[in-house]
Amino acid sequence: MEFVDIFSYKLPIAHLIDQLTNWLTTNCAGFFNLITKGGSALMDFITNGLLFLPPLLLIVLLTIAAYFGSNRHFKLPALTLLGLLFVYNQGLWTGLMNTFTLVLIASLVSVIIGIPLGIWMAKNDKVQAVVKPILDFMQTMPAFVYLIPAVAFFGIGMVPGVFASVIFALPPTVRFTNLAIRQIPKELVEATDAFGSTPKQKLFSLELPMAKPTIWAGINQTIMLALSMVVTASMIGAPGLGKDVLSALQHANIGTGFVAGLALVILAIIIDRFTQKFNQPIQAKPKLTPKQKRNHRLIVGGILAAIILILGAGNFKSLTQKAKPTINLGYVDWDSEVASTNVIAQVLRDQGFKVELTSLDNAVLWKSVANGSVDAEVGAWLPTTHGNLYKQYHNNLVDLGPNLKGVKLGLAVPSYMNVNSISDLSNQANKTITGIEPGAGVTAAAKKTLKAYSNLNDWQLSTSSSGAMTVALDKAIKQHQEIVITGWSPHWMFAKYKLKYLADSKHTMGRSENIHTIVKKNLKTDNPKAYRILNKFTWTKEDMESVMLDINNGMSPQKAAQKWIKAHPKQVKAWVD
């Protein structure tokens, strides 16, 4: 009889989950693609329609709607008008519309799934017993976890964002519906039964009308949760205000982060107040005369027709422009990659391409190139930094070789610290290496370094974001404290501060590296022209740092790219010919 120690044997749960998602991804690919295609088309349709209307006109229309919707009080319309004008003034209008589309679709899907599920739960105790723990699980599981399968199933963009938002935002609608129907006084339910109602008659004449206020409260909760998910969903490429917030976090821009956050708050308050209007308790209201009913129908019908017409017009406009070939560039929100991606994007635009830029986490980005949801990226640090990712995905993508030679990674310290090599480190800086995103290549290298050097065995790596790291660095230098960071160049911080790399005798932080361009597998056949340009794209460290510095000094990435392109016509010509 052999004793098996279960504590020395780790249950392969993670492995099983991986197997399951892989199986789903391969076997249900057709289904997922259909949803992705349909969902993207629908959301583009709505966003295009919303963006087709002049913002000021839309703001005025919404203000008028708020005025009549709030029984001619002035608070809501004033808030709508000022809030939306503020968002428009800050140049976040497109983001707002994208966010609104995401929230709208996520809420609609939640309602379409949630209300029937809630009704079923209310009617059947067994279903309730099964669904309740699942809902608890859905609500308490960190939303980040949903992002991973969302990318595996639906790639990147709006659709996985909606998928994650729905999982996160669905529970309140289900719960409130269930609760509302179960709370209907027993005597009323008995009355409907006693008169011989069918279940359907019971549902439509008693349960839904009585439950309506509570269900609306649930829907309101769902909308708010969907809104709170937009920031998280932006990590997997969902466009909108979340992207601005996330980017501000990664660059540690307090101001832009605050403004984007404020825009989200304004949107949340407006949506909340509008939906509260539907959430009023049952009360005696005078019956409408047939004539009033007809007028109501006419008004509602007119509004619906107008909306459809506008959406149609907006999309007709975009359809006529759709002749342009589209190329989807992915990037990680690091300053170096923002510079290079914006330059190549501008070059492609000048060549008549429609370019979509998607900012993603590094690991997600590699996965997206491998599964073809992103056409190309120009920020692959090889062979060491992103070596693991390359190993994982190299069979499913094409490496077009370096576009920038001689980059360096390493642990860096301010020059006033008296350590010169990694092996000199003992107990400086609280034995902490201040790092960037957990998914970044330099993070993996730093982990390897901690393992390789015996003097670092009680050191720790604290990951955050590249923006947070530069803020910490800035603070440490101003206060003349010790700090060890995961550094890489080209980067503006080397121009701004006096920093030095620590000598790396074991080369665990990589020897000299290059930045490569990688593209999806069949780009060459799909889009030969873009492929050729991407293939020829090369520049130098100095080129990149000049663009980076412009951006860091407050120029918008697109402007900085345009400026650089203007200044280097020859170089650009060589790429496009």
Name the residues that contact other proteins, by CB under 8 A: 185, 187-188, 190-198, 201, 205-206, 209-210, 282, 284, 286-287
Query: Burial level of 185, CB count in 10 A (0-12/13-18/19+)?
Result: exposed
Locate 456 and state its tokens: 């670092």
Q: Nearer to other proteins by C-beta: 210 or 355?
A: 210
DSSP assignments along 521-554, one per residue: TTHHHH-HHHHHHHHH----HHHHHHHHHHHHTT
Q: Decide if 154 contacts 163 (C-beta within 8 A).
A: yes
Q: How far is the CB of 208 from other proteins (least distance, A)?
A: 10
Q: Nearer to other proteins by C-beta: 125 or 350?
A: 125
Q: Nearer to other proteins by C-beta: 181 or 259?
A: 181
Q: Decide if 302 contacts 119 (C-beta within 8 A).
A: no
Q: How far is the CB of 112 from other proteins (least distance, A)?
A: 24
| Phi, psi of 66, rounded to the nearest 5 degrees | -65, -40
Tokens 């604290």 belong to 462
- Taking the C-alpha atoms of residue 357 and residue 341, their distance in angstroms, rounded to an integer, is 8
Instruction: Determine which helix (DSSP H) or strand (DSSP E) holds 7, and give its type and residue range.
Output: none
Q: How far is the CB of 188 from other proteins (least distance, A)?
A: 6
Q: How far is the CB of 194 from other proteins (least distance, A)?
A: 4
Q: How far is the CB of 294 from other proteins (least distance, A)?
A: 18
Q: Nearer to other proteins by C-beta: 287 or 291?
A: 287
Locate 33 and state its tokens: 């693609």
SS3 at position 123: helix
Locate 431 and state its tokens: 């034995």
Using CA atoms, how far residue 385 sits from 205, 216, 449, in Å, is 64, 50, 12
Q: Nearer to other proteins by C-beta: 213 or 387?
A: 213
Q: Nearer to other proteins by C-beta: 205 or 420?
A: 205
Q: Nearer to other proteins by C-beta: 8 or 283?
A: 283
Q: Nearer to other proteins by C-beta: 197 or 228?
A: 197
Q: Nearer to other proteins by C-beta: 129 or 303?
A: 129
Q: How far is the CB of 282 from other proteins (least distance, A)?
A: 5
Q: Decide if 54 contacts 88 (C-beta within 8 A).
A: no
Q: How far is the CB of 85 from other proteins (least distance, A)?
A: 40
Strand partners, 413: 500
Q: How far is the CB of 280 from other proteins (least distance, A)?
A: 12
Q: Decide if 552 contacts 492 (C-beta within 8 A).
A: yes
Other beta carbons within 10 Å of 196: 7
Instruction: Determine which helix (DSSP H) or strand (DSSP E) holds 409, and give its type and residue range.
Output: strand 397-414
Q: How far is the CB of 210 from other proteins (least distance, A)?
A: 6
Q: Decide if 251 contacts 86 (C-beta within 8 A).
A: no
